[in-house]
């Protein structure tokens, strides 16, 4: 085992030098270096770069033991929904099912037949072949994996399919490959001797495994941010370009994924080097400290809260859509909870509107027929005849439990707060426009019609889904309000207005916050448990359950001005044997955080 220096080696020469140093300590005995890879990692690049520098007596690729592509296609196809371009069923497959046991045994024998010198084994499933004397894990963030799909640089696990559309590559990865790889990764995290950050092919980085684990343990003691990523959209606007200082040459930015740990990444500061790993590693390795006991008991090592930004300022309407009911997503897609959500208006133009719920007295049959006709090339769907439009103003909060038809209109900047299963959006109408690829985006009428709650009409919606703001308390320089969510949703939200320091507490559950008003704020520990952490307008940050008490106050340009945070957390479940938890017990103890780890 290497010593835990915490140093980070950058570039293949430095990486090979670090490994050669560890190998040399073993003397003349045989040394097997195993490099396990996450799907999407360029295995051949790693193998070539290391073998040319380390000069192993033998080198092997784990892919030699995979079943042939047609066998793997037969294995995975039941989870891919046939011809459905978007949806499948979450796979319960495990990595050994992709490998031919006879080939595994033969490859293992070939590795074991080498009695002296250095042996190099690389690939997804390498650890299935041999434990190795030195164990590296080559990791990759899902955002970079998606970009490699778009560039046709990578295909799916065990498939020769990199030439197919990026959307189909993503579908297979989402429903199969990443589920399989994460099951394989979880128990290996504690065994990593080294970790390879392969997100930048021109600058690979090698870190000591214990240094990475130490960074993850440190992460759950303080507020942090994940690395956001931004993406254009057919309806995208111009607001994020200016506020987030993005590339002005890009046509638009529609999405910012600012707290989706399943796909966002995390930066660790290792010896002054920024080391990037999937944020999911933190959820897998420190689930109880991050989520809290009750949330972990309910969701396991999944992060259940998602924050993202939707920009239609100077853009177009989002697609008219609906999300699946809980039983529907369970039975049809294998998820155990659904994408309830809400729109919080960070900003809005003077004519901004949100489509939410149905008008009173509409005919469901007529609406279905008109949507079907529009999808088949007939006249456009007249959304205004069937769907209620509500004026949208800054700091409005619209609640959208599953089954509610909805979309944000033009000139809105939405902070979307939702449960995590984010790809399960059933588009009913896309305003007759094309996607960024010049092709129509998939419409999901069958799924959508099966989930529309036809009784969610304007009277009900206005009473239950719009600006359900309730004052909870106030003090010197602060005011707290409950803003939702709906009773059917497991996420609750709190808004704090403040001009002075305001105290929060995680109450033993993970908090997710966004600075929705004010230029910047500072998060501190009243006991000095973590260094001060500064967040800026529209940034999302996470406060692990483990943090306990924390304080948020205006700082910098916000001094003397009013600020506000919106905080989300998982509602506590009542314990029947002791009675229901009083509402004020879980009230004003927050959420916070950002991340630069040492």
- Cα–Cα distance for residue pair 156/453, rounded to 1 Å: 37
Q: Which of helix, strand or coil describes residue 583? A: helix
In the prediction, which pLDDT does 596 show?
Answer: 31
- Cα–Cα distance for residue pair 39/570, rounded to 1 Å: 32
Same fold, 229-261+303-464 and 470-586: yes
Report the 10 Å Cβ neighbour count for 468: 17
Instruction: State how far Cα 329 lies from the chain centre.
Output: 19
Position of tokens 């559309």?
165
DSSP annotation string for 518-576:
SSEEEEE-TT--S--EEEETT-EEEE-GGG-EEEEEE-GGGTTS-EEEEEEEEPPPPBT
- Cα–Cα distance for residue pair 38/129, rounded to 1 Å: 15
Q: Is 245 exposed, middle or buried (0-12, 13-18, 19+ CB in 10 A)?
A: exposed
Q: Let me know: does 164 contact 187? Beta carbons within 8 Å.
A: no
User: What's the first-to-final CA gap in the chain, in angstroms?
Assistant: 22
What are residue 121's DSSP bridge partners? 34, 60
pTM: 0.93
Torsion of Cα atoms, 351 then 353 then 359 then 360, to 10°? -80
The single-letter DSSP state of residue 117 is S
Which is it for strands 118-123 and 58-61: parallel, antiparallel or unpaired? parallel
Estimate the crossing angle of helix 43-54 against helix 12-24, to 10 degrees.
Answer: 60
Residue 359 is encoded by which pair of tokens?
Answer: 């008008």
Nearest to 305 by CA among 90, 568, 487, 508: 568
Q: Which of helix, strand or coil describes residue 323? A: coil
Tens digits of residue pLDDT in 60-102: 999 999 999 999 999 999 999 888 999 999 999 999 999 999 9
In the prediction, which pLDDT does 7 show?
Answer: 77
Determine the topology of domain 470-586 in CATH. Answer: Jelly Rolls (2.60.120)
The single-letter DSSP state of residue 445 is H
Domain 229-261+303-464, what architecture? Sandwich (2.60)
Backbone phi and psi for residue 356, each to the nearest 5 degrees, phi listed first: -155, 115
Residue 79 is encoded by which pair of tokens?
Answer: 């989870």
Low-confidence ranges of the chain (pLDDT < 50): 1-5, 577-598
Residue 356 is encoded by which pair of tokens?
Answer: 């939410």
What residue segments make up the domains of the chain, in order of their start?
8-219, 229-261+303-464, 470-586
Whether domain 8-219 has CATH 3.30.70.270: no
Nearest to 168 by CA among 91, 74, 98, 87: 87
- Cα–Cα distance for residue pair 113/27, rounded to 1 Å: 19
In the prediction, which pLDDT does 302 show?
Answer: 95
Q: Let me know: does 258 contact 226? Beta carbons within 8 Å.
A: yes
Opening angle at CA 347, ends 463 and 481, nearest 5: 50
Q: Which of helix, strand or coil describes residue 228? A: coil
Which is it for strands 134-139 and 8-10: parallel, antiparallel or unpaired? unpaired
């Amino acid at each position: 085992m290497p010593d835990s220096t915490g140093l980070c080696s950058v570039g293949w020469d430095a990486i090979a030098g670090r490994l050669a140093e560890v190998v040399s300590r073993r003397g003349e005995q045989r040394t097997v270096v195993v490099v396990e890879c996450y799907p999407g990692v360029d295995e051949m690049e790693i193998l070539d770069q290391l073998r040319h520098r380390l000069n192993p007596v033998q080198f092997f690729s784990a892919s030699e033991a995979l079943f042939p592509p047609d066998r793997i296609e037969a294995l995975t196809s039941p989870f891919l929904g046939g011809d459905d371009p978007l949806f499948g069923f979450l796979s319960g497959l495990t990595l050994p099912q992709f490998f031919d046991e006879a080939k595994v045994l033969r490859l293992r024998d070939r590795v074991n037949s080498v009695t002296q010198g250095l042996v190099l084994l690389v690939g997804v499933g390498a650890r299935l072949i041999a434990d190795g004397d030195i164990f590296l894990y080559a990791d990759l963030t899902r955002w970079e994996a998606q970009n490699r799909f778009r560039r046709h640089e990578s295909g799916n696990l065990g498939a020769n399919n990199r030439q197919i559309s990026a959307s189909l590559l993503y579908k297979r990865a989402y429903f199969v490959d990443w589920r399989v790889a994460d099951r394989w990764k979880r128990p290996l995290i504690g065994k990593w001797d080294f970790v390879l950050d392969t997100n930048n092919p021109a600058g690979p980085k090698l870190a000591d495994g214990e240094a990475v684990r130490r960074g993850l343990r440190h992460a759950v003691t303080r507020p942090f941010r994940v690395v956001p990523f931004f993406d254009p959209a057919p309806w995208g606007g111009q607001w994020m370009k200016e506020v987030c200082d993005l590339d002005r040459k890009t046509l638009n930015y529609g999405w910012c994924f600012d707290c989706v740990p399943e796909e966002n990444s995390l930066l660790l500061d290792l010896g002054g080097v920024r080391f990037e790993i999937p944020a999911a590693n933190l959820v897998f390795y420190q689930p109880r400290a991050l989520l809290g006991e009750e949330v972990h008991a309910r969701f396991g090592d999944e992060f259940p809260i998602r924050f993202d930004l939707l920009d239609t300022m100077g853009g177009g309407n989002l697609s008219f859509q609906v999300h699946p009911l809980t039983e529907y997503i369970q039975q049809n897609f294998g998820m155990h909870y659904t994408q309830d959500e809400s729109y919080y208006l960070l900003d809005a133009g003077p004519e901004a509107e949100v489509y939410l719920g149905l008008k009173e007295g509409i005919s469901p049959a007529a609406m279905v027929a008109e949507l079907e006709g529009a999808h088949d090339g007939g006249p456009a769907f007249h959304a205004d005849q069937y769907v209620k439009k509500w004026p949208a103003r800054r700091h409005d909060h619209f609640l959208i439990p599953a089954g509610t038809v909805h979309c944000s209109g033009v000139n809105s900047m939405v902070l979307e707060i939702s449960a995590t299963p984010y790809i399960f959006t059933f588009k009913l109408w896309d305003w007759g426009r094309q996607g960024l690829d010049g092709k129509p985006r998939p419409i999901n009428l069958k799924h959508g019609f099966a989930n529309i709650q036809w009784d969610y009409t304007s009277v009900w919606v206005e009473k239950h889904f719009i600006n359900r703001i309730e004052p909870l308390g106030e003090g010197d320089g602060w005011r707290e309000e409950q803003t939702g969510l709906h009773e059917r949703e497991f996420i609750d939200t709190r808004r704090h207005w403040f001009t002075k320091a305001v105290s929060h507490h995680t109450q033993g559950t993970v908090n997710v916050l966004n600075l929705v008003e004010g230029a910047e704020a500072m998060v501190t520990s009243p006991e000095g448990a973590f260094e001060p952490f500064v967040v800026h307008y529209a940034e999302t940050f996470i406060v692990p359950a483990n943090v306990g008490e924390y304080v948020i106050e205006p700082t910098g340009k916000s001094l003397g001005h009013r600020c506000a945070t919106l905080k989300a957390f998982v509602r506590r479940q009542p314990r029947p044997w002791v009675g229901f938890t009083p509402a004020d017990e879980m009230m004003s103890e927050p959420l916070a955080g950002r991340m630069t780890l040492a």
